[in-house]
Amino acid sequence: MTSVSHREAKRLIQQASLGEEDAARLNGHLQDCEECSSYARTDQFLRRGLKLSPVRTSAPPAIRRAVLAHAQGGRHHNGTQSFTGSLAFLVILTLIGVSTLYAFIVTAPGNQPMQVPLAEQLASPLQTMVAIIAPPVTKTPEPSPTSRPVPQSPSGRIVVDVPAPSLANNIIGETTVQPVAVILPPSYATSDRRYPVAYLFVSGDQSPDRTDEDDLAEIIAEKLTNQGSMQEMIVVVPGVRTVLDTEAIIANSPVTGNWEDYVVEDLVPFIDQNFRTLPQAASRGLAGGAQVGGLNVLNLALHHADVFSVVHSQQPWLMAPGRVAEDLTLQPAIRQRASNAISRLASVPPQQASEGYGALLKTVSMRSPMRRALAYGMAIATTSQNNAPYFDYPYVDSDTPAPEEVWQRWESIAGNWAAKIDRYLAGPDRLKAIAISRDQDWVFTVENDAIDTLVQQLSAAGAPVELNTTDRHGSAVVVSLENDVLPFLSRNLASE
């Protein structure tokens, strides 16, 4: 019996059912891996809470009316019905008591683990006992009012809630259910085809509930498809704002949560399970921009060439080798404000620091370099033991640099590209196509220098990269969807 990697274990956990061999492999792994065991428990909890299922249906109107009529007719009950209701109430109380006792025994300190496969332990004892005494229910329960499941016959643009167990146990309280917009191709509702998938990460105020970008993406995708200049694709637009209303840096952090794991281990499997995708790297692409969105997709592509094969990055925010101090987040005005704030927050009790940090964020404008510095710092944090904002800034004050290890950590996500390329080359998988675009008149010239350097490094490594120079402002990402981004993905993603 072959061993199971962390990623494969998480993929198996999300399956609706497993064969005997896969179940045995998963159980063996879960017995020895606390990380995946915790992931499994969180995933099951989220799916029960959201009432998610592989096929989500709601009752037809005729059945609804019949059930309602039956319920109304039952209001005039006789003594037997009253006795039955009382008995049912007592049974429910008993089950709740047993379930509570079970939870207490299992979680009590010092108790030995039960010698039962963990995949079986995940089933609720209350659910198990109800299954024994109750007749089988064939109708899929309707989703709770607070969840947005996949419709039975989806079409156009929809927003779904994706379980995100990888984001659990973060210090800022990031939610473990993430909203995601899904834009389906015109033929989706009338065919049984499978489609390539483009994951679109847009910087700024992107949220699936804020429809400016993804509504326009839907219009452009449909226009290009109808013109025959783009193959039909599923376009996925994840929300990329944290609970603190900062841009999400796609990296694993004890402070903001494991966003990179969320994309690769939660989001991609969810899309593959709930939509007719081509579930292979050759049919998955990334696009992002500008700035943080472009940075996010480059890191995802180089780290996970086994999941994605194509990436388009527009005006990515990068740090140039040997010139980190010139980065926008480390300019003199930002140095003074950030270092002073962190120093003040470090001198007060943790709860007061947390409240003060929240108040500080409310005073910082959405597009301020200060806000980016705070978001980035939380993403690179290696511990959550410090006071808010939980990270070390590269300057102790406006003029005094922090120790070298702090600077290395600051460069780890937006820079350090030579090491990332080396790790990419050490792996077995290769990207099919990489496109990076930049604005020739971009005001922060050090960022364009960093982009040029990265392209040279990728080319020297034999990577299939192309650099596109435009005269459009880099933040006008949606403008480029029609001319650059979607056509590039369409040309390079494999279809049926």
Tell me the mean pLDDT in the region 231-248.
91
What is residue 447's predicted lDDT score, i.e. its pLDDT?
95
Does residue 423 lie within any of the structural domains? yes
Separation CA 221–CA 230 (nearest Å): 8
Higher pLDDT, 186 or 296: 296
What is residue 213's predicted lDDT score, i.e. its pLDDT?
52
Tell me the mean pLDDT in the region 239-253.
92
Final residue of a domain: which of 411, 439, 463? 411
Report the predicted TM-score, pTM, of the whole model to 2 decimal places: 0.74
Does residue 454 lie within any of the structural domains? yes
What is residue 96's predicted lDDT score, i.e. its pLDDT?
47
In a shared domain, residues 38 and 169: no
pLDDT band at 327 (very low <50, low <70, confident <90, very high): very high
What is residue 152's predicted lDDT score, i.e. its pLDDT?
66
In a shared domain, residues 371 and 293: no
Residue 50 has pLDDT above 70, yes or no: no
What is residue 35's predicted lDDT score, i.e. its pLDDT?
74
Does residue 404 lie within any of the structural domains? yes
What is residue 25's predicted lDDT score, i.e. its pLDDT?
82
Higher pLDDT, 34 or 67: 34
Residue 437 has pLDDT above 60, yes or no: yes
Question: What angle is formed at CA 208 by the lines to CA 202 and CA 210, rounded to 5 degrees?
Answer: 90
Q: Count of domains in the chain? A: 3
In a shared domain, residues 225 and 245: yes
Tell me the mean pLDDT in the region 33-58.
56
In a shared domain, residues 199 and 288: yes
What is residue 4's predicted lDDT score, i.e. its pLDDT?
78
Most confident of 66-75, 338-347, 391-400, 417-426: 417-426
In a shared domain, residues 103 and 117: yes
Does residue 169 lie within any of the structural domains? yes
pLDDT band at 441 (very low <50, low <70, confident <90, very high): confident
In a shared domain, residues 209 and 283: yes
Residue 275 has pLDDT above 90, yes or no: yes
Does residue 144 lie within any of the structural domains? no
Higher pLDDT, 191 or 142: 191
Does residue 150 lie within any of the structural domains? no
Does residue 1 lie within any of the structural domains? no
In a shared domain, residues 295 and 421: yes
Residue 174 has pLDDT above 70, yes or no: yes
Domain that holds residue 270: 157-322+414-492
In a shared domain, residues 252 and 197: yes
Per-residue model confidence as pLDDT tens digits over 6-45: 777 877 887 766 777 788 888 888 888 877 777 776 666 5
In a shared domain, residues 10 and 126: yes
Final residue of a domain: which of 411, 432, 457? 411
In a shared domain, residues 313 and 450: yes
Does residue 145 lie within any of the structural domains? no
SS3 for the chain is CCCCCHHHHHHHHCCCCCCHHHHHHHHHHHHHCHHHHHHHHHHHHHHHHHCCCCCCCCCCHHHHHHHHHHHHHCCCCCHHHHHHHHHHHHHHHHHHHHHHHHHHHHHCCCCCCCCCCHHHHCCCHHHHHHHHHCCCCCCCCCCCCCCCCCCCCCCCEEEEEEECHHHCCCCCCCCCEEEEEEECCCCHHHCCCCECEEEEEECCCCECCECHHHHHHHHHHHHHHHHCCCCCCEEEEECCECCCCCECCCCEECCCEEHHHHHHHHHHHHHHHHCCECCCHHHEEEEEEEEHHHHHHHHHHHHCCCCCCEEEEEEECCCCCCCHHHCHHHCHHHHHHHHHHHHHHHCCCHHHHHHHHHHHHHHCCCCCHHHHHHHHHHHHCCCCCCCCCCCCCCECCCCCECCHHHHHHHHCCCCCHHHHHHHHHHCCCCCCEEEEEEECCCCCHHHHHHHHHHHHHHHHCCCCEEEEEECCCCCCHHHHHHHHHHHHHHHHCCCC
pLDDT band at 262 (very low <50, low <70, confident <90, very high): very high
Residue 456 has pLDDT above 70, yes or no: yes
In a shared domain, residues 180 and 288: yes
Residue with tokens 């709601």: 58
In a shared domain, residues 480 and 378: no
**Which CATH number fits the domain that encloses residue 480?**
3.40.50.1820
